[in-house]
Amino acid sequence: MLPNLPRHKSITDAAARRFKVGKGQVDHYDSSFPGLHLRVSHTGRKAWGYHYRLGGKLKRTTFDLYPTMSVEAAHDAWRKARDAVRSGHSPGAKVASTDFIGVFEEWMQRDQAKNKSQRTVRSYLERCVLPRWQHRPISTIGRRDCLDVIDALADQGKITAARRLHALLHRLFKWAIGRDIIEINPLNGVDKPGEDIKRDRVLSDTELVKVWTAAEKIGFPYRTAVQLLILTGARRDEIGRLRWAEIIDGAISLDGARTKNSEPHVIPLSTAARALLDHIPRFGDFVFGRGRLTDWSRAKTKLDALAALAIPWRTHDLRRTCATGLQKLGTPLQVTEAILGHTAGSRAGVVGIYQRHGYADEKRAALEAWSAHVMALVQ
């Protein structure tokens, strides 16, 4: 039983002011907020407190004096304290760094800070893992716990997402071992679910026309963004986050912070691509509005409905289609790789170190030829 239990009733400011001083001390409990009480001592001192059970033991914490802490503020303090107790912590206690959420935040700061996909990494773990593990000591998370969250994705048919989650958790646990936080990686010896899906989808000329025409119907900004992806072979975020300041001398000039391989990259703009940009009104620093385009999934759903391709496709397939089209037009492999910003392939190793030719003229001619081919198909 909780100590000093008089009648329970909702505590208002008027009631708190009326509580009289008596002998010893009396706890007045708020019936709407279990455990919250205003302790009135014989000296007239009134202090907010909270009785709770943790580990089977009855405990009490003090918030602040009344009226310094109002009734409303006491209710807010009660909610935070209640949530902490539900998570297995004493109210006001700092979350231990060995709780999963503490380790996760440190891992994001120390290991993922330079990862250009860190937003995606955080989204994956916040959605799939944190609701289950955030207040658990990381040392208590075992193989079965990991398989539960990974299999939950796989069972929904999201094999690629499940494999990615496996890789992220494996890296996090491995990092935690290196920081002497845990001793064993629970995913050691656990294979990724399913098989890695090799993406090799290339749109045919007919399909490309359907996507271009569908883009015309969905309107700005995704209409122009999709058409620029087709004409340039750029990555989705390279176009989606494009700034006017990055369009220099008839080309898109990206610094290392904007590219996947952290290398500066220049994408010449063909006549057709420049015409698309010329029709965009300027309202700020970004080409497509106040910031990056964030609703690609909705735009893709509209494209799918309008284009009605028989075989499923992804936005990234436009980049592969551009590369394949360049090859069909006779573009040398080295020039195609330079257009895509690839540093592997023919430019890997020693060749990449000593061969520094940027293929600027060759890239412009190749993309001009590709754009002419696309526009001929469309028109």
**CATH number for the domain including 57?**
3.30.160.390
pLDDT digits (tens, 9 = 90+) for 76-132: 889 888 888 887 777 865 545 678 988 999 999 899 988 878 888 998 899 999 999
Q: Are residues 230 and 369 in the same domain?
A: yes
Location of structure tokens 């009135």: 40
- Looking at the structure, do residues 248 and 321 belong to the same domain, yes or no? yes
Residues 169 and 49 in one domain: no
Tokens of 307: 């284009």
**What average pLDDT score do residues 329-357 get?**
71
Same domain (yes/no): 239, 374: yes
How many Cβ atoms are within 10 Å of 185's Cβ, its own excluded? 19
Judge if 82 and 112 occupy the same domain.
no
Residue 218 has pLDDT above 90, yes or no: yes
Q: How sure is the predictor about 4, in pLDDT bands with cuts at 50, 70 and 90?
A: very low
**What pLDDT score does 330 carry?**
96
- For residues 36 and 76, what is the distance between their CA atoms, to the nearest angstrom? 11
Indicate whether 185 belongs to any domain: no
Backbone angles phi, psi at 23, to 5 degrees: -80, 140
d(CA 310, CA 44): 79
Residue 351, pLDDT score: 44
Q: What are phi and psi of 67, to 5 degrees?
A: -95, 10
Chain position carrying tokens 């071992």: 177
Domain enclosing residue 41, as ranges: 13-86
Is the residue at 94 inside a domain? no
Mean pLDDT of 36-45: 86
CATH number for the domain spanning 133: value is 1.10.150
Question: Which CATH number belongs to the domain containing residue 317 in this structure?
Answer: 1.10.443.10
Q: Is residue 125 part of a domain?
A: yes
In terms of domains, do 240 and 152 share one? no
Task: For residues 275 and 307, give the distance between their C-alpha atoms in angstroms, rounded to a whole number.
Answer: 23
Residue 227 lies in a domain: yes
Asked whether residue 232 falls in the same domain as residue 365, the answer is yes
Query: Where do we find the tokens 């284009």?
Result: 307
The least confident of 77-86, 202-211, 366-375 is 77-86
Q: Which of 42-46, 124-128, 178-182, 213-217 has the highest mean pLDDT?
A: 213-217
Whether residue 43 sits in one domain with residue 20: yes
In terms of domains, do 230 and 362 share one? Answer: yes
pTM: 0.59
Note the pLDDT of residue 119: 84
Provide the number of structural domains found in the chain. 3
Q: What is the mean pLDDT of residues 18-23?
A: 78
Predicted pLDDT of residue 334:
92
Q: Is the same domain home to 214 and 350? A: yes
Give the per-residue pLDDT at 283: 83
State the Cα–Cα distance between residues 1 and 9, nearest whole angstrom.
17
State whether 45 and 132 are in the same domain.
Answer: no
What's the pLDDT score for residue 251? 96
Could you read off the pLDDT of 154-172 as tens digits, one per residue?
999 888 889 999 999 999 9
Check residue 197 and give its pLDDT. 61
Q: Establish if 194 belongs to a structural domain.
A: no
State the average pLDDT for the chain: 87
Q: Is residue 347 part of a domain?
A: yes
With H, G, I as helix, E, B as strand and everything else as coil, classify residue 83: helix
Residues 349 and 211 reside in one and the same domain: yes
Question: Is residue 47, in this structure, part of any structural domain at all?
Answer: yes
Contact 138, 176 (CB under 8 A): yes
**What share of the chain in percent tops pLDDT 70?**
91
Does any domain span residue 271?
A: yes
Q: What is the DSSP letter of 243?
A: B
Tell me the HSE value of 189 on the side-chain side, using a 13 A CA sphere: 6
- Give residue 357's pLDDT band: very low, low, confident or very high (50, 70, 90): low
The mean pLDDT value for 285-290 works out to 88
